[in-house]
């Protein structure tokens, strides 16, 4: 038996799967949680050492005999996190995460230094938004200049795991495009953006070499082999951001299919064989981790709203869903604006969570609960509308993340988006995507030029028993409620600035 390892470094935990690719079976898996450092100013941070501790805990849970079967590794990581490294490979400061909104002022500063946001979007492909890596770098320069001056390498979370495994500094185009520093069309670091960030230092010296998606970032070192119990010298693929790996693990690497992830954040993305620049700025112009592009919408609040309501009313997930299912589509007029973490799309870093539309007859737990489920999908519909406006013909949505486990949420998604919704058999899409990319990289390392889409078709299975189709009556209701949702967002935008 031979296996490939998929590692998923997420916000809440690290997950590891051993995938028997000959029999198309995950034969072992493990997870370990992460802590979070947060503050009222929008700070969301973790220590990189926590990721390594979690990774080692995961491997300690796997049977030693299974670990010896591994022939390659692929790493998925939460996007945008800023990992500053000194010349000796030490992490200089806490990792500011994708959900950190404390650097909104630095976003404005970089955009103003470049010219303006419209110029940046047109020329480079992406604005500098809260969550992206660029503003975090400037924040460190302003707040910890002595550490900033010691910085020799800039890595993203999945790159840091690759560095731990191989001792090599690399980055691939998919995750790199989420830094805000990559020119999307040219697929290279943009010198003008780097200068807008720091006109005194050439930060390109700190950025790793960009490698192709099928390339190996390196091989497992002897030290890591001893610590994790896996073979020394097996290749570690380029890896990618969690959304890029999720695209591989769900098969959203060809036209007509989009993936929607309902996790702490919400994302909706689809493959393109050419760069896609959304003039409205709703879709990020990212590259894929398969050699193409991956236009993507990300909201910073998805399961956040439901978690807030569950904790407030002290219900478990099953009870919450049962109560929410007693409310009708549209929650009798109650609408949640789920901006508890601030928000990235729409660009409201100072946004707050709101429950609106309550009156003397509709203020019920079931309506409030269902509204929190619906609110996440309204944010996703903005992305779907943007895809359609750009000419995408979307045929189905492949749903992943914690929210995909809810029968009610899947149906709500199908109704609000008015599209069939399907769910992959293997739930850990990002880790599976890492495994499939590792297979692709392994083939290339042996001189076998394989097709990533062939590998995806071979290894990604869909669960027909969890598929949903739109309820046309609910579709009509949600079309009207969605209009009201947008009016509430528009009306409150000025307050949130």
pLDDT for res 255: 79
Report CA 492 to chain centroid distance, whole Å: 27
Question: What are φ and ψ of residue 34, in 5° steps?
Answer: -115, 150
Nearest partner of 113 among 197, 206, 52, judged by Cα = 197
- Let me know: does 19 contact 7? Beta carbons within 8 Å: no
**pLDDT of 166-220, one tens digit each?**
999 999 999 999 999 999 999 999 999 999 999 999 999 999 989 999 999 999 9
Give the span between the Cα atoms of 252 and 246, in whole angstroms: 8
| Residue 181 within any structural domain of the chain | yes
pLDDT over 70 percentage in the chain: 100
Give the span between the Cα atoms of 66 and 41, in whole angstroms: 45
pLDDT for res 23: 96
3-state secondary structure the chain: CCEEEEEEECCCEEEEEEEECCCCEEEEEEEEECCCEECCCCCEEECHHHHHHHHHHHHHCCCHHHHCCEEEEEEEECCCCEEEECCCCCECCCEECCCCCCCHHHHHHHHHHHCCHHHHHHHCCCCCCCCCHHHHHHHHHHHCHHHHHHCCEEECHHHHHHHHHHCCCEEEHHHHHHHCCEECCCCEECHHHHHHHCCCCCHHHCCCEEECCCCEEEECCHHHHHHHCCCCCCEEECCEEHHHHHHHHHCCCCCCEEEEEECCCEEEEECECCCCCCCCCCCECCECCCCCECCEEEECCCHHHHHHHHHHHCCCHHHHHHHHCCCCCCHHHCEEEECECEECCCCECCCCEEEECCCCCCCCHHHHHHHHHHHHHHHHHHHHHHHHHCCCCCCEEEEECHHHHCHHHHHHHHHHHCCCEEEECCCCHHHHHHHHHHHHHHHHHCCCCCCHHHHHHHHCCEEEEEEECCCHHHHHHHHHHHHHHHHHHHHHHHHHC
Domain CATH code at residue 98: 3.30.420.40
State the pTM of this model.
Answer: 0.91
- Total of domains in the chain: 1
pLDDT for res 130: 85
Q: What mean pLDDT value characterizes the chain?
A: 95
What CA dihedral angle connects 218, 10, 337 and 496, to 10 degrees? -60
Give the catalytic positions in this structure: 242
| Residue 303 within any structural domain of the chain | no
| Residue 228 within any structural domain of the chain | yes
How is residue 208 written in tokens?
């790793």
| Residue 315 within any structural domain of the chain | no
Residue 102: domain span:
3-243
**pLDDT of 415-440, one tens digit each?**
999 999 999 999 889 999 999 999 99
| Residue 323 within any structural domain of the chain | no
> Could you read off the pLDDT tens digit of each residue along the chain, which spans 497 residues?
999 999 999 999 999 999 999 999 999 999 999 999 999 999 999 999 999 999 999 999 999 999 999 999 999 999 999 999 999 999 999 999 999 999 999 999 999 999 988 999 999 999 998 889 999 999 999 999 999 999 999 999 999 999 999 999 999 999 999 999 999 999 999 999 999 999 999 999 999 989 999 999 999 999 999 999 999 999 999 999 999 999 999 999 887 889 999 988 899 999 998 898 898 889 999 999 999 999 999 998 999 999 999 999 999 999 999 999 999 999 999 999 999 989 988 989 899 999 999 999 999 999 999 999 999 999 999 999 999 998 888 999 999 988 999 999 999 999 999 999 999 999 889 999 999 999 999 999 999 878 899 999 999 999 989 999 999 999 999 999 999 999 999 999 999 98
| Residue 101 within any structural domain of the chain | yes
Q: Rounded to whole angstroms, what are the CA distances from 87 to 90, 153, 203, 343, 355? A: 7, 8, 14, 35, 49
| Residue 93 within any structural domain of the chain | yes
pLDDT for res 497: 80
| Residue 191 within any structural domain of the chain | yes
């Amino acid at each position: 038996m031979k296996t490939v390892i998929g590692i998923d470094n997420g916000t809440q935990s690290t997950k590891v799967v051993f995938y028997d690719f000959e029999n198309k079976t995950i034969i072992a898996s493990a997870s370990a949680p992460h802590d979070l450092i947060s503050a009222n100013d929008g700070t969301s941070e973790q220590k990189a050492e926590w990721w390594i501790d979690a990774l080692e805990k995961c491997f300690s849970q796997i049977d030693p005999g299974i670990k010896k079967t591994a022939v390659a590794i692929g790493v998925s990581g939460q996007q945008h996190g800023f990992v500053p490294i000194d010349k000796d490979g030490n992490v200089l400061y806490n990792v500011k995460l994708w959900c950190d909104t404390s650097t909104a002022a630095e976003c404005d500063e970089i955009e103003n230094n470049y010219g303006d946001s419209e110029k940046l979007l047109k020329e480079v492909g992406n604005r500098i938004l809260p969550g992206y890596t660029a503003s975090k770098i400037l924040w460190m320069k302003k707040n910890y200049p002595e550490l900033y001056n010691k910085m020799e390498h800039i890595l993203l979370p999945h790159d840091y795991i690759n560095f731990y495994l191989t001792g090599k500094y690399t980055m691939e185009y998919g995750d790199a495009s989420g830094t805000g520093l990559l020119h999307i069309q040219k697929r290279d670091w943009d010198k003008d953006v780097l200068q807008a960030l720091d006109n005194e230092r050439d930060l390109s010296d700190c950025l790793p070499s960009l490698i192709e998606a099928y390339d190996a970032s390196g091989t497992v070192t002897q030290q890591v082999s001893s610590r994790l119990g896996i073979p020394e010298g097996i290749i570690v693929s380029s890896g990618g951001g969690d959304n890029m790996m999720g695209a591989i693990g769900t098969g959203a690497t060809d036209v007509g299919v989009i993936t929607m992830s309902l996790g702490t954040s919400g994302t909706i993305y689809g493959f393109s064989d050419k760069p896609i620049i959304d003039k409205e700025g709703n879709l990020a112009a990212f590259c894929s981790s398969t050699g193409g592009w991956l236009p993507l919408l990300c909201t910073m609040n998805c399961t956040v709203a439901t978690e807030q309501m569950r904790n407030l009313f002290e219900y478990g997930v099953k009870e919450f869903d049962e109560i929410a299912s007693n409310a009708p589509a549209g929650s009798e007029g109650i609408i949640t604006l789920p901006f508890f973490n601030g928000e990235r799309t729409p660009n409201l870093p100072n946004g707050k969570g709101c429950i609106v539309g309550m009156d003397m007859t509709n203020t019920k737990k079931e309506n409030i609960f269902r509204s929190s489920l619906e609110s996440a999908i309204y944010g996703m519909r903005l992305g779907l509308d943007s895809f359609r406006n750009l000419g995408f013909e979307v045929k189905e949505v492949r749903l992943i993340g914690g929210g995909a486990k809810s029968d009610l949420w899947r149906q709500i998604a199908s109704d609000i988006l008015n599209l069939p919704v399907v769910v992959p058999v293997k739930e850990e899409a990002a880790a599976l995507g890492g495994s499939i990319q590792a297979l692709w990289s392994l083939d290339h390392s042996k001189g076998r030029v394989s097709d990533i889409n062939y590998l995806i078709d071979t290894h990604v299975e869909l669960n027909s028993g969890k598929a949903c189709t739109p309820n046309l009556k609910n579709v009509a209701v949600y079309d009207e409620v969605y209009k009201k949702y947008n009016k509430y967002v528009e009306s409150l935008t000025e307050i949130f600035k």
